[in-house]
Structure 1
Amino acid sequence: MALSTRLQRTFCNQMAAWCMLFRRRDMAMTWYRRMLALDPRDTLALASLGFQHARAGENRDALALFDQVIAITPDDADAHFNRAFLLQELNDHDAAIAAFGAAIARNPEHDRAHYGLALSLIATHRLDEAVAPLRKNTKLQPMSPYGWYQLARVQRDLGRLDETQKILDHLATFEPKVARQLERETGLKAGTG
């Protein structure tokens, strides 16, 4: 890419950032499109447009843009994750499961991909399969209550109340509000396990 093109791209990117700062999404999208006019394979511009479409609830348009990012950079775990998230939002959980798997294959430490995979497995009533990605999520993000909460609910639904109790006791040590919510849902009490 020639220096003048790189400078134009940098200028467009900065202008888009300013537009976003001042909540001018429409103008930001114009600047991202100008970046694509300079280089149709600009993954930053494609992903940025994808995020803007997603924020506007235009998930199919966003999905098409992330498909383009993946076609250009197939090893980009985040692009696969973003695609999976959009598929999940569109209630296409089987496709989301495959896309989360693609993100994890490229980055096994992608905690949000493990969590998203588990949510789609739960949505398709594959609770036994949801346990492993939730365990991985809680290993990668031990102080985040979301994975623990979902893991406790899955264990409860599988009839594993001792596991549910252990998770409830653990949650009570660092996230008492979530633990209380879980107590209401399960009828269990923290600290009795």
Structure 2
Amino acid sequence: MGAPRNSATWSLLLLGCLVIAPGCSMIADSNNTQGAQLFQTGRYNDAITSFQQALQRDPANADACYNLASTYHHLGMASRDTAMVTQAEALYNECLNREPNHVDAHRGLAVLLVQDGRKDAAFTLLRRWAAGAPLSPEPKIELARLYREFGDTQTATELLAEALKQDPQNIRANRAVGSIREEQGQLASAMDSYNRAWMANSTQGDLATRMSMLQQQLVTGSGVNGADSRLAQNPGTTTVSGTSTTTATGSTINTNNRY
């Protein structure tokens, strides 16, 4: 496996996916929420202050630690500041010490490692997570994303199949399978997977748009034989709560668990 197919797009979509989730401290949650809002408006230094305050008030708050890591990651990559990127890596690891199954921290750290030329370390990170949490579909979904980005669609598909055996209604896994099938020109099969994701959560506006476009292609029979049938790929994003907002840099703060 060589360089990732869409490393720039992938990284931009993953950076800035902040988490706003209930924690042990309402005040810390307030700081987290405020920090996310500041991030959305480009006030990154103020966002860092808010996330630091959240950690001071609730040192065990994994989401605040992740949000701080994600902000430093975003700033470090944008300004090519090695010190910030190093700090982001340390904070991702701190987040995982607090919450070993933190999905966004695993993804963020994997992206950072790939960006830093440590592809093998990224795979090792996600494989160890999968081995340590065999009953969870989430590590398999993240590992599938990484394999797919490096061109190994077969392994990605196998991992997603395993994830769906554990959780047949998993939105991200169904969306991921749909995206792969769509890319391969299997439009009817892709629609089936997207429908499963839609049935699990009918508030996914972007998925509704995508399904509508795909349905038009199925009705007209355009491009059924392959590449011409494929829609522009959208790797998707993942986080927990809030509303979907695209920042000036292209990063996304999103609420639904999307592949």
The TM-score, its normalising length taken from structure 2, stands at 0.48
- Per-residue CA deviations over 1:161-180 (Å, capped at 9, x if unaligned) read xxx64xx2122454253574
- Return the index of the structure with the highest Cα Rg: 1
- The equivalent position to 2:50 in structure 1, one of 11, 19, 31, is 31
Distance 1:83 1:114 in 2: 16
Change (3 A) 1:148 1:128: same
**1: CA distance, partners of 2:90 / 2:174:** 31
User: Where does structure 1 lack aligned partners over 5 or more consecutive residues?
Assistant: 1-8, 157-163
1:150 Cα offset (Å): 1.9
User: How far apart are residue 48 of structure 1 and its match?
Assistant: 2.2
- Residues 151 and 118 of structure 1: CA distance in aligned 2, closer, same or farther (over 3 Å): farther
Partner of 1:76: 101
- 1:65 Cα deviation after fit: 0.7
For 1:27 and 1:142, the matched residues in 2 are separated by: 32
C-alpha separation in 2, matches of 1:142 and 1:11? 31
**Aligned equivalents of 2:47, 2:64: Cα separation in 1:** 10
Amino acid at match of 2:178: W
Query: Partner of 1:101 in structure 2?
Result: 127
Question: Which segments of 5 or more consecutive residues in structure 2 lack a partner in the other structure?
Answer: 1-24, 78-84, 196-210, 230-259
Q: Please report how far the alpha carbon of residue 70 of structure 1 lies from its aligned counterpart in structure 2 after TM superposition.
A: 2.5
Partner Cα separation in structure 1 for residue 180 and residue 86 of structure 2: 27
CA distance in 1, matches of 2:163, 2:189: 15
Structure scoring higher RCO (CA < 8 A, sep ≥ 6) equals 2
1:62 aligns with 2:92: no
- 1:44-193 to 2 correspondence within 5 Å? 44-56=63-75, 58=77, 59-73=85-99, 75-78=100-103, 79-90=105-116, 92-104=118-130, 105-106=132-133, 108-111=135-138, 113-136=139-162, 139=168, 140-141=170-171, 144-151=174-181, 153=183, 156=184, 165=186, 168-172=187-191, 174=195, 175-178=211-214, 180=217, 183=223, 186-187=226-227
Kindly indicate whether the alpha-carbon contact (under 8 Å) linking 2:32 and 2:64 is maintained by their aligned counterparts in 1.
Answer: no
Is the 8 Å Cα contact of residues 85 and 116 (structure 1) preserved in structure 2? no
Residues 82-140 of structure 1 show CA distances to partners (whole Å, capped at 9, x for unaligned) of 422433455643222222223333264344x4333123223444443222113245643
1:23-79: CA deviation from partner (whole Å, max 9, x where unpaired): 333223113334555676653432221122234464543222111222444x33424
RMSD in angstroms over aligned alpha carbons?
4.0
| CA positional deviation for 1:18 | 2.7
Kindly tell me the number of residue pairs found equivalent between the two proteins: 169
Q: How high is the TM-score relative to the length of structure 1?
A: 0.60
Q: Which amino acid in the other structure matches residue 52 of structure 2?
A: R
Q: Distance in 1 between matches of 2:148 and 2:102?
A: 22
Q: Identity over aligned residues, as a percent? A: 15
